[in-house]
Structures are given as C-alpha cells and as structure tokens.
Amino acid sequence: MSKLYLARNPRVAARSLDGEMMIMSGRDSTLFTLNKTATILWQSADGTTPLDQIVEQRICVEFEVDSAQALLDAEILARDLAGHEILQLSEEPIPTSRGARP
C-alpha cells in the first residue's frame, strides 16, 4: 500500500476554540468544526509525515484502537476532509509554507 501524505490547505482559516478546531473553507466560507480524530489529522498534517505514521503515533495512542482498522478509518476521514478542501492529499510529500500555525 502506498504512503499517503497530508497537508493543511493554506486557503482555509483555522483556529482552536477551547480545544475544538474551527475551520472555514476557503472555497465558500462554510464553517466546520473537527472532531477529535479529525483534529489530530489536521494538527499532524505537515506534508511530510505519512498517514500510517500519524495513525500509529497519535491516533492509536489516543484511542487504543487496532492500527489496521484505525488506518482504514483515518484514510476515509482524510479523504472526506480533502473533499471539503480542508486537507491536501498526495502519495508524495507535500511542500508547505513555513511558519503556518493554527
């Protein structure tokens, strides 16, 4: 299975409000709030850490779930976030602008 890399879409606006991540779509200003798993994906989406590593190191530790199932679920979630143009996905590392911090 090929690696999947995640990066934050630089066109969105984002802020953590009392532990909950708010994201405003750059496409149509739709507001989203991310659940815990989606927030972990967002925070870890640095363009260089592959999804399987994020799942192993962050999601499995946080939720104590089976890694194979967690990876499947995380990929579905990542593709959903990409569909809303919140994340960018690629099978190659994604160069990102330096210094971005939500």
Partner 1 sequence: MSGLMEEMVAKAIDANVPLNVQLDLTYRCNERCVHCYLDHHDHGEMTTAEIKHLLNEMADAGVFILTLSGGEIMLRRDFFEILEHARRLMFCVKLKTNAVLIREREALRIRDLGVESIQVSIYSHRPEVHDAITLVPGSLKRSLAAIRFLKSQGLKVVIANVLMTENMRDYQGVQALAAELGVECTLDPTVTPMMDGSRSTLALNVEENSLRQVFRDPSLVGDVEAFCAIAAKAGEDDLEARPCSAGHTACYVSPYGDVFPCVQFPLPTGNVRKQRFADIWRHSEQMNEVRGIRLKDLSCSQCTHATSCSRCPGLAYMEGNMRGPSTQDCEKSFARTGVPSLNLLSRKSSSAKSTASLVQIRSVPALTGAPA
- Contact positions toward partner 1, by CB under 8 A? 10-18, 20, 22, 24, 26, 29, 31-33, 97, 99-102
User: How far apart are alpha carbons 62 and 80 in whole angstroms?
Assistant: 21
CB of 44 to partner 1, least distance (A): 16
Q: How far is the CB of 19 from partner 1 (least distance, A)?
A: 9
Q: Given the complex with partner 1, which of 45 and 71 has the nearer CB atom?
A: 45
* Residue whose CB is less far from partner 1, 65 or 82: 82
Nearer to partner 1, 22 or 65 (CB): 22
Q: Which residues contact 64 (CB under 8 A, 6 or more apart)?
A: none
SS3 7: strand
Task: With CA atoms as reference, report the closest residue to 93 among 40, 49, 56, 44.
Answer: 49
